[in-house]
Amino acid sequence: MERVIGHRRQAIADVLAAMPPSERAAAAQAFGAFARAAIADPGDDGRFTLLQPGGRLRS
């Protein structure tokens, strides 16, 4: 699993490094929103999460 995660992180880093700075900033914001959505209850701002309302992540 660690190898897969490492490959994925490197692939993302390579793509981000090839982007113009303005696009890189937008991508970073999108990744941040995705990460916040993964740990929060579904919002009412048009984004979605992969949890049902009231659902919780398993640890």
User: pLDDT (tens digit, 9 = 90+) per residue, 5-28?
Assistant: 889 889 988 988 999 988 988 888
Tokens matching residue 14: 């390579």
> Which amino acid is present at 41?
D
Residue 44 predicted with pLDDT over 80: no
The pLDDT confidence band at residue 1, using thresholds 50, 70 and 90, is confident
